[in-house]
Structure 1
Amino acid sequence: MSGPQCCENPPEIISGSSQQGHMTHIEVIGGLTSYTAGSLASKLAIILIADIHGYEAPKLRQIADKVASAGFYVVVPDFFYGDPYVPDTSLSAWFPNHQPVKGCEDARRVVADLKTKGASAVGAAGFCWGGMTVSKLATHGEIEAAVILHPGPLSEDDIHEIKVPTAILGAETDEYSPPEQIKKIGEILSAKPVDSFVKIYPGVVHGWTVRYKDDDEHVVRCAMEAHADMLDWFKKYLK
């Protein structure tokens, strides 16, 4: 997996105990250090799986807080074990050591831990690398719903094996998952006995939902729309 779009507009990572003046909530879930938001007392949990820039990205945590405010317990695990992609390094060298297959194995442990802790339903949403990971996680049928946002290259074999309601939110310009591929994947999903939803957002590029520029009104509007679509999907299937 290589190319400029994953590396453009990297987030400004603020490591440590606080971001934007708020104390972070860090727990270990399924063996992974995780940012958490909301209360598990809701019994409805959502895992957000980061893109290559990792779980400390401020906008990703803002999304987690937004989803939690709708009544979900949200977990953002560190699937890269403290080794996210760092700008100006080789993505082709980093990626082989951070495969979505391993991410899926870790995510399954997170799901199991959440259900042990009392979650009655778990959803998962993934961005780019995380979208690839969620596509694999959804083949196991251990979550109740999945959302895949501007994913890296998806395996059609994985899509054929998906067992849970799945939404795919794509960008009009995306070298990893161009609209024609997303539409083909949508056709595969529509032939399956599980519900699916595919949407292409105009005038945006790969990564827009989690690495948008605040001064770009169109992209911000599309990002907010995608977040709302993601939340609606989870509200529909996590009961």
Structure 2
Amino acid sequence: MASHPPAACCFQGTQHQGQPLGSLSSLGDFEIYTSFPDDRSTDYGVLILTDIIGHRFNNAQLLADKFAANGYFVMMPDLFYGDPVPLNRPGDFDMQKWRRGEYGGLNKSHTPSTIDPIVHACLVEMRTKYQCKKIAAAGYCFGAKYVVRHLVSGPSKIDVGYAAHPSFIDEDELKSIKGPLAISAAEKDSIFPAEKRHDTEVILKDLGLPYQINLYGGVGHGFAVRGDPDVRHVEYAKENSFLQAALWFKEHLEVSIGVE
């Protein structure tokens, strides 16, 4: 694997303050959060694939709104059919049991067989209903795997990818990407430790595609979404990782917009 499976650090962190500006609606049989730029343009889209806390997490919605404020139409689906993991869930939680769908009432697994069709449906909706000319995808922790899986050719294609503190990515998935990929990595991360980061660097270098790996010192897994804003170096890393993603998208989508 290019990164290890999710663990307890994937649902621990700090909830951020703020009022989301986007809206919730349905796409087929799952819910989506959408957020528009001020001019309501949909030429360039960002698909956000969340960590296991899901699309209704305030932090994730504020992050989506931030991409929208920088000129992008944003769609963020419920990857888990109403079965996300609550922030800071107690320690009796069994990650593998959750992944098999045994906690949720619908008994849907949280695996590629369930999640790939959600991603595909979002991409089709963004390209048809919203007429997005190009689409970037930002994946956080769990969602990073699906950025990599869809950074390929074909109807489920994204044009450029970004992953923050990725988990559960197979090396073969990484070796199959067909577009630019940027990664925000945490120094203190047992899911994406130094050896996995170095393995990833070798794979990306061999592919010959544009790539970037930024290492943020002194922070742990989840910092880009769940980092504590009251800890100065964590807040800096969180904000800088967003700028990394926004500038990466601007460069590779060739969008003439500013970064706030």
Q: Which string of whole-angstrom CA distances, capped at 9 and with x for unpartnered residues, describes residues 24-68 of structure 1?
A: 412334653111111562310001111011111111111111111
Of residues 173, 176, 187, the one that matches 1:172 is: 187
Residue 189 to residue 208, structure 1, CA distance change in 2 (3 Å): same
CA shift for structure 1 position 23: 5.5
Residue 130 (structure 1) aligns with: 143
Q: Does 1:197 align with 2:212?
A: yes
Pairs within 5 Å for 1:199-214 = 199-214=214-229
- Bigger mean CA offset, 44-53 vs 132-141: 132-141
- Bigger mean CA offset, 146-155 vs 185-194: 185-194
Structure 1: runs of 5 or more not aligned: 13-18
Residue type matched to 2:173 in 1? D
Residue 208 to residue 234, structure 1, CA distance change in 2 (3 Å): same
Rounded Cα–Cα distance in structure 1 between residues aligned with 2:57 and 2:20: 14
- Bigger mean CA offset, 65-74 vs 182-191: 182-191
Residue 201 (structure 2) aligns with: 186
Residue 67 (structure 1) aligns with: 67
Rounded Cα–Cα distance in structure 2 between residues aligned with 1:70 and 1:130: 21
- The DSSP-based 3-state class of the residue aligned with 2:56 is coil
Residue 52 (structure 1) aligns with: 52
Q: TM-score, normalised by structure 1?
A: 0.90
Structure 2: runs of 5 or more not aligned: 101-108, 255-260
Rounded Cα–Cα distance in structure 2 between residues aligned with 1:42 and 1:31: 23
Identity of aligned residues (%): 27
Residue 79 (structure 2) aligns with: 79
CA contact (8 A) 1:6 1:52 kept: yes
Residue 9 to residue 84, structure 1, CA distance change in 2 (3 Å): same
4+ runs deviating over 6 angstroms: none
Residue 91 (structure 1) aligns with: 95
Residue 33 (structure 2) aligns with: 35
CA shift for structure 1 position 238: 1.7
CA contact (8 A) 1:43 1:121 kept: yes
Residue 80 to residue 92, structure 1, CA distance change in 2 (3 Å): same
RMSD: 2.0
Count of residue pairs brought into register by the alignment: 233
CA contact (8 A) 1:134 1:147 kept: yes
Q: Which string of whole-angstrom CA distances, capped at 9 and with x for unpartnered residues, describes residues 187-210 of structure 1?
A: 211222321111111111110100
Q: Does 1:4 align with 2:8?
A: yes
Q: TM-score, normalised by structure 2?
A: 0.83
Greater RCO structure (CA 8 Å; 6+ sep): 2
- The DSSP-based 3-state class of the residue aligned with 1:76 is strand
Residue 121 (structure 2) aligns with: 109
Rounded Cα–Cα distance in structure 2 between residues aligned with 1:20 and 1:103: 29
Residue 121 (structure 1) aligns with: 134
Rounded Cα–Cα distance in structure 2 between residues aligned with 1:121 and 1:181: 30
CA contact (8 A) 1:122 1:145 kept: yes
